[in-house]
Amino acid sequence: MSEKPRHSRLAGAGVALLGAAAAFLSLGGRSGNAFLLRPPGAGEPQRFLSRCLRCGACAKACPYGSIRMDETGLAGGELGTPVILPRQKPCYLCADLPCVKACPSGALDAQLRDAKKARMGTAVILEREECLSLKGLRCEVCYRNCPLIEKAVTVENYLNARTGRHAVYEPVIHKEHCTGCGICEHSCILDRPAIRVGELQPESENLYEG
Amino acid sequence: MDIGRRTFIKGAAAAAALAAAGLPAAFPKAALADDGLTWGKAPCRFCGTGCGVLVGVRNGKIVATKGDALAPVNKGLNCVKGYNLSKILYGEDRLTKPLLRQGDKFVPISWDKALDLVAEKIRETLASSGPDAVAMFGSGQWTVHEGYVASKFMKAGIGSNSIDPNARFCMASAVAAFMNTFGSDEPMGNYEDLDLGDTYFLWGANMSECHPILFSRMTANRLKNPKVQIIDLATRFTRTSQEADRYVEFQPQTDLALANGIAHVIVREGLYDEAFLAENVTLKKGKTDIGYGVEDKFSFSDKGEAISFDQYRAFLKDYSPEKVEAISGVPAATVEELAKLYADKNRKVCSYWTMGFNQHTRGTWVNNLVYNLHLLTGKIAKPGEGPFSLTGQPSACGTAREVGTFTHRLPADMVVTNPEHRRKAADIWKVPVEKIPAKPTYHATEMLRALDRGDIRFLWVQCNNPFQAAPNTGRFRAAARKEGRFVVVSDAYPTKSTEVADLILPSAMWVEKEGMFGNAERRTQHWFKQVDPPGEAKEDLWQLIEVARRLGFGKLFEYPGQDLHHALFEEYRRFGLGIGKDLAPYEVYQKERGVIWPYVNGESVKWRYNTEYDPYAKKEKEKGISFYKNKKEHKKAVLWARPYEPAAEVPDGDYPFWLCTGRVLEHWHTGTMTRRVPALHRAVPEALVELHPEDASRLGIRNRDRVLLTSRRGSLELRASVGERGVPGKGSVFVPFFDEHRMINDLTLDAFCPISKQPDYKKCAVKVERIG
């Protein structure tokens, strides 16, 4: 038995919205300078690239095959470095972080012990005009599939102006909890996902909260 | 700053909505637009909500569907399943030819051969084992026409009552309680109650995921009216609980005690409506210690005995808030508060429920108990006030219940056990009254047991997937393959049921045929055929009639010079005219976005039994409520004293967890349609087992670990979900049943409510082990 008083889920939360679109210049192929999703614990790109041995141990350790070695440069990264392409397979945040444990060089930071504290990137609903939930449809697949549901993604209700008698269920991302695992991007039901993982956004660069 | 952001969101959403609102005007029949695209109307193929959609067809193929802005149910919106609706027709493995089993393989045969074979097998069975051994396993997804033809085929053609639908699995308890309380099936209110009430009790209903458009309407009501409260009473914390103002968790099966506890406080405090009770309610008690139906050939019939209000008051003594707390885990103070909310004269109270109530070994009782709360307070059959049973299938109401495709039923609430009802049916069907047997045979679960025993030799399954959806499926899958059984399955796709068939017949689906569905608010919706089915696929109705011809009773379905669908419906409509079950003329449905029955003097009755809205009630009295359908109870509703009794199988040392099964928003039923939509499959590719975080940590199970679930009937490997979209109560696990690769019903128990015969999919005992 437990009871839950209704609470305001948004109270005091720093909400990541409409992050810098520049981070998402490339959509499908992720070529050029676009954001690359690295395994948990990779941290800041320069530091990661300077330490990564391109050995593939993390990819081998990943039980889902989510981590792949960018051997052709197709993903746009440094040749031979590990990347995660969420649309193909996101990071499922294994509790024991086998990829981090397997990394011999510290490129994946062994200080990271809790997968839910990983900060690989931040999800953003980039194509807001395409998002079904924002159109008032009951989709919210990204919300229900988020492994940090109610922390990293919540839904906010407001009246659907068109019908006047339904509520919109808008998924809202809270960047302070978002790991960037990409499960939301993976599971978005649109051919071109409306929600995508991009660069971690420093607090001050949130365009719509300044 | 925050306000600015929110304003922006709203602006953006409104703009998006307006863009999407560029919908075509009403096209009753598919009308040609400039670009070769035609738009026709249809109700959604999935749940019992009955959202309207527009179907866009170009070059004989559906190229788009969208929410129908003119549909009163959904005003242009859909859920993510409805958004993907058109894709269910175009899975790569659509069945396009009749397939006959040869050993472990299926080989294509012609329709002629297939239909001859079906007729031959039926004839053989009739000769060797009699009409009861010929059985039809039907569906709440049948169109009204299909259900009507199937019922007439069995009861007037074969002369057998061995027909029962999968709707037995989803709302038989609601039917039984509607009948024994009000003398007429289906709710008195309609979806407008979602807009008009201010206090909503959800009992065992994950509405946010399972009736998403209706829940969005309830949420909108709350946004507009700060008085609105949503109270979720459940055994599992769901997205509905998250959205609710209050979540009250009770131990499985103890909703019986909780509802009685609420009644206890209402009676103790004198919060009931004495005048309403005196005028409209009679009190009864029924049999107790009624069993669970786990054994074959279990039989039970209830017997009501009149009691006084004082006797009812004495009965409620066992359900003081303190005693209820001990049984259910709900704090006594909460029971008091809930009772006061129900009884508050300044609150318009609605109760909504689905499978938590209906799939329950005391399902009829618990339905009765929630009616009691509305009868005690007189909050019933009024705008924004009343009990409302939600349904899970698109035509559970329109077909299974209204047409009466159950072993014991006939159309329009009539039953085979009543000689007058049989006579009326025989009259309309133009058969000798002796043709319709007076005795019901097998309800859905018992039908599958009878197949196992050999009491049924021929089984025809149409438009559903019982060999994945039935409880304790393992037994029945083996039964289907036993020597001397012949199983025909009509479906659009290969399923777990076609897998065990002897003959597979390829079916047309949804708008590949003309049809009608009836949703949970008594709204019947019509659509025209809009595309051809693929290959040689044929509608189920045609399959039945062709076999009827071969068996020599094709005349039952001949309407010379008339359109078949039109004529079938007009014949069926005769059953309900003048008795408060009036349907509209066929032409009306062809035009309208659905019509609510009873349809009297050219108008729908929105709130039955209410003299302000219902001409039948008005005939009875000047003002107020009349339960005019309950003639044998002097037109009063029955308040039933029903006790708490434990579940059929309770966790113990060997099997320490409750197993509850259910759904997720992204998939529908056994997933035979939604799992063929790549986007939905990508969204939820497999069934997971949800555990309470404390149980998981005690067992060393982390999110996505592999877990073995074992019941006394079977075991299953699944990945764990801990603290994600649903969180079962401590000591419970939850698994959805959509995944044919993870057959959770191999573990469930085929115990059922002895009154309704609906199985309890929500409670059996399992053990949980971490693998590796």
B576-628 tens-digit pLDDT: 999 999 999 999 999 999 999 999 999 999 999 999 999 999 999 999 999 99
Q: At what angle do helices B363-377 and B332-343 cross, to 10 degrees?
A: 60
CA distance A5 to B248: 10
Query: What CATH number corresponds to the domain at position B149?
Result: 3.40.50.740
Q: Are residues B302 and B268 in the same domain?
A: yes
Residues of A in contact with B674 (CB under 8 A): none
**Minimum-distance CB partner of A137 among B2, B5, B80:** B80
Number of domains in chain B: 4
The whole-chain average pLDDT of chain A stands at 84
Residues of A in contact with B684 (CB under 8 A): 141, 145, 187
- What residues contact residue A181 under an 8 Å CB cut-off, 6+ apart? A86, A90, A91, A92, A93, A118, A120, A147, A197
Confidence of residue A60 (pLDDT cuts 50, 70, 90): very high
On whether the CB atoms of residues B169 and B446 are closer than 8 A, the answer is no
**Distance between B749 CA and the closest CA of chain A, angstroms:** 25
Instruction: Copy the structure tokens of residue B227.
Output: 């008085």
- The answer to whether A162 contacts B725, with C-beta atoms less than 8 Å apart, is no
Spell out, as residue ranges, where chain B has pLDDT lower than 50. Answer: 1-30
Residue B507, CA distances (Å) to A36, B142, B533, B540, B720 in order: 47, 11, 8, 6, 37
**Minimum-distance CB partner of A150 among B76, B242, B245:** B242
By three-state DSSP, how is residue B434 classified? helix
Q: Is residue B758 part of a domain?
A: no
Asked if the C-beta of B341 comes within 8 angstroms of chain A's C-beta atoms, the answer is no
pLDDT of A1: 42
Residues of A in contact with B8 (CB under 8 A): 208
The residue among B761, B732, B716 whose CA lies nearest residue B472 is B761
Query: Which residue of chain A has the CA closest to B12?
Result: A129
Which residue shows structure tokens 């009326």? B424
Q: What is the DSSP string of B692-745?
A: -HHHHHHTT--TT-EEEEE-SS-EEEEEEEESSS-EEPTTEEEEES--TTS-GG
pLDDT of A31: 40
Q: Are residues B265 and B334 in the same domain?
A: yes
- The answer to whether A92 contacts B704, with C-beta atoms less than 8 Å apart, is yes
Give the DSSP H or E segment for A209.
none
- The answer to whether A6 contacts B246, with C-beta atoms less than 8 Å apart, is yes
Confidence of residue A27 (pLDDT cuts 50, 70, 90): very low
Query: What CATH number corresponds to the domain at position B696?
Result: 2.40.40.20
B392 catalytic per annotation: yes
Q: Cis omega before residue B598 (within 30°)?
A: yes
Among left, alpha and beta (phi > 0; psi -120 to 50; other), residue B284 is beta
pLDDT of B18: 36
**Minimum-distance CB partner of B77 among A144, A163, A188:** A163
B606 catalytic per annotation: no
Catalytic residue chosen out of the listed positions B154, B355, B516, B764:
B355
Q: Is residue B724 part of a domain?
A: yes
Residues of A in contact with B2 (CB under 8 A): 209
Q: Is residue B357 part of a domain?
A: yes
Q: Is residue B51 part of a domain?
A: yes
Domain boundary among B67, B90, B113: B90
B81 catalytic per annotation: yes
Q: Is residue B753 part of a domain?
A: no
Q: Are residues B215 and B360 in the same domain?
A: yes
Q: Are residues B358 and B344 in the same domain?
A: yes
Query: What CATH number corresponds to the domain at position B380?
Result: 3.40.228.10
pLDDT of A78: 82
B130 catalytic per annotation: no
**Amino acid letter, residue A46:** Q
**Minimum-distance CB partner of A136 among B17, B251, B328:** B17
The radius of gyration computed from the CA coordinates of chain A, to the nearest angstrom, equals 18
Query: What CATH number corresponds to the domain at position B63?
Result: 3.30.200.210
The answer to whether domain A14-28+121-203 and domain A36-116 are alike in fold is: yes
Residues of B in contact with A5 (CB under 8 A): 246
**Distance between A50 CA and the closest CA of chain B, angstroms:** 33
Query: Which residue of chain A has the CA closest to B700?
Result: A95
Q: Are residues B401 and B480 in the same domain?
A: yes
Instruction: Copy the structure tokens of residue B482.
Output: 């036993």
pLDDT of A4: 46
Q: Are residues B257 and B383 in the same domain?
A: yes
Residues of A in contact with B84 (CB under 8 A): 189
State whether CATH 1.10.730 applies to domain A36-116. no
- What residues contact residue B70 under an 8 Å CB cut-off, 6+ apart? B26, B52, B593
On whether the CB atoms of residues B239 and A144 are closer than 8 A, the answer is yes
Residue B357, CA distances (Å) to A21, B129, B173, B395, B732 in order: 48, 37, 8, 19, 17
- B36 CB burial (10 A radius; 0-12, 13-18, 19+): exposed
Is 80 exceeded by the pLDDT of residue A76? no
Catalytic residue chosen out of the listed positions B51, B171, B188, B210:
B171
Q: Is residue B344 part of a domain?
A: yes
B355 catalytic per annotation: yes
ipTM score over 0.90, yes or no? yes
A94-133 tens-digit pLDDT: 999 999 999 999 999 999 999 999 999 999 999 999 999 9
Q: Is residue B568 part of a domain?
A: no
B154 catalytic per annotation: no
pLDDT of B25: 35
On whether the CB atoms of residues A31 and B272 are closer than 8 A, the answer is no
- B588 CB burial (10 A radius; 0-12, 13-18, 19+): middle
Classify domain A14-28+121-203 at the CATH class level. alpha beta
- Name the β-bridge partners of B459: B135, B487
Domain that holds residue B68: 2-90
Domain boundary among B90, B115, B144: B90
**Minimum-distance CB partner of B83 among A132, A147, A160:** A132
Which residue shows structure tokens 């058969």? B431
Q: Where are the domains of chain A?
A: 14-28+121-203, 36-116
**Amino acid letter, residue A95:** A
A8-24 tens-digit pLDDT: 443 333 333 333 333 44
CA distance A194 to B443: 47
